Structure formats: C-alpha cells, structure tokens
Homo-oligomer: A and B are copies of this chain.
Amino acid sequence: MHRFYDRYDTYRSLIDARLATVIDRGEPVSMYDPARYVLSGGGKRIRPVLVMLACEAVGGDPRDAVEAGVAVEILHNFTLVHDDIMDRADTRRGRETVHRKWDENIAILVGDELMGIAYKTLLNTEKGDVRALTRVFTDGVIEVCEGQSYDKEFELLPTVSEEDYMMMISKKTGWLVAISAELGAIIGGADAGRRAALNEYARCVGRAFQVQDDLLDVVADKDAFGKPIGGDIIEGKKTYLLVKALNRATGDDLALLQEVATRVAPHDGLVERVTEIYRRYGVLDIAREKIEEDTEAAIRALDALEDTDGRQMLIWLAQMLLERKH
C-alpha cells in the first residue's frame, strides 16, 4: 500500500504547488494578503486529491483535474473563513482566523473573493462538459450554505432529530466531498452511471470521515490528536455522538446533554461526564459501526467501475481514512 501513500503525496504536492500560484494579483493588499494566508494554511487536501483520483478511476488523466481540484479546495476554504466569523472562532488549524488576524469586514470580503477565484480556477478545466462542471460546483455552493444555515438554526435547539442531523451534515460537510468525486468523474469522461457511483462513494466516505472526526474528539490519543480531547463537548457542538445520545438518554443524563447542546453546562469535569454517558448508552459503538458501514458502502459503490489501479486507490483511500488517528 506504500505506493498509494506516495501517490497521495504526489497529488497533494501538485495541488499545493498550484494553490501557491493561483492568486496572481497583489493589490488590493488588504484582500490578497489574507487570501494567500488562507490558502497556505495546509491541510490534508482530501477534496482536491479526490477530484484527481476520481478522474483517474474512470480512465482520465488526473493532471486534467488539478484546476478543478484546486477550485474545490478554494471553495472549501471560503466556507471556513465565513464559518469562522459566524462561530466566533479564534483559531483554525493552529493559526489565527482571518477575522481575528485582520478584521471581520476583511474576512467577509476575502471569503467572497475566494468564491470568485474558485470559479475562475474551475473554468480553466479543459476536459469535460463545462456546463455540467459548473452546475455541480454551483450546487455545492448552495448546499454548503444551506448546511451551515441549518447548523446555526440547530444550535438554538436543545435537541435535534437524527434524521435532521444527518441531512444537515450531508449538506454542510458531505456535499463538497461528494462533488469532488463527481467533478473528477466528469473531467475523466465518465457516463452517468459511473458519475453517480463516484458521487455515492464520496458521499459515504465523507460521512464516515465526519463521524470519525466526532469520535476522535472523544477517544483519540491526546498526543496524536493535536488538539484538546473533548473540544466538541466543551463547545456544545452537535456531533453525531451528541445527537445519538440526546435521542437515547433520559432523566439527568438527558438534562445534562441538553445543557451541553445549548452551551450552558458547567465545563468542570464535563468531558469525562459526557464521555461516560456516551459509553453507557452505547453511542461510541454505534458511531464505530456507522463508520464501518459507510466505508463498506463506499467501497461497494465502486463495483460500478472497472477494476483498475485508480479504483484500487479509491478503496485504499476509504480504508486509510477509516484507520486514521487524527
């Protein structure tokens, strides 16, 4: 499997190299300095690599998918800049957020501009139907905004149904992963069936990735995780775990979880208490099963594709994300 790791790194390097040059203007300084800062923040670059891999898995040249991959990564970063304003977040990936380092007006504008640059970059794509590419990309913008909107609505509620939660999270974080694979498929010249299969694969991978994120917040090895354990609990974030527990717990347990969800619970000893509730109601095991189920469903979706090296690498990617520790 080593060669897949190496290939992932190669693809990520191509993406990072292009991200470093994609902003080709310097002025106005108050816009392009922070915009460059955002795009140099690193990250796993899962979405753009997925665009390249999906293109390859349907027989295309992954290099044809670099511009679209970079476009998705820019779009993703635009959502982070605006979400950080709304969430009053001070840091992102260990660095100050744009609205903290500069100010809120600049963060609003930089986000807007990044969306423009994302489209501009996408339109450099030479393979695949440009209307189809732009439509899929635009649906991504709309769904991500809807997801964030639902998320902010749910923040005000003491509880939320599992169905509503899954709907919200599929829009807020799943959609861009799903369109990453779909864009790659379009560029690679896939027919409708393969396009849908790759969308389904990525939708499942994205969901597994999200639940894994939520689980790691509670069970990760502190040193490997890179941020404090239980941060989501302290922040009252409506994670998969919290929603599952809210829909199962009763009595004092439920009362405490509702306090967590509305961010009025006292922080002292809270992570331990909530983790204990999660264990008692079997929520951690439910999450583990959900991750496995989704990973299997992702791999099953790839049955629609010829068994190529590209397809093998997508299988590897789904498994690798499942096994990650941070």
Contact = CB atoms under 8 A, between A and B. Distances in A.
A86 B112 contact: no
Contact of A115 (B108, B112, B123, B149): B112
Given A112-B115, A146-B31, A148-B109, A131 B141 contact: no
Chain A contact surface mostly: helix
A264 interface: no
A4 interface: no
Interface residues of A, number: 37
A92 interface: no
Output the residue of A31, A106, A135, A149 with the most chain B CB within 10 A: A149
A120 B142 contact: yes
Interface string A105-123: 1101101110111011001
A116 B149 CA distance: 14
B119 A119 contact: yes
Contacts of A138: 116, 119-120, 123
Interface string A140-167: 0110011011101100000000000000
A85 B120 CA distance: 26
Contacts of A78: 112
A141 B123 contact: no
A130 to B, nearest CB: 5
A28 interface: yes
A134 to B, nearest CB: 6
Nearest to A113: B145
17 contacts: A28-B146, A28-B149, A29-B153, A30-B153, A109-B145, A111-B112, A112-B112, A112-B141, A113-B149, A115-B115, A115-B141, A116-B141, A116-B145, A119-B119, A119-B138, A120-B142, A130-B130
The 6 closest A-B pairs by CB, nearest first: A116-B141, A116-B142, A113-B145, A31-B149, A28-B149, A119-B138
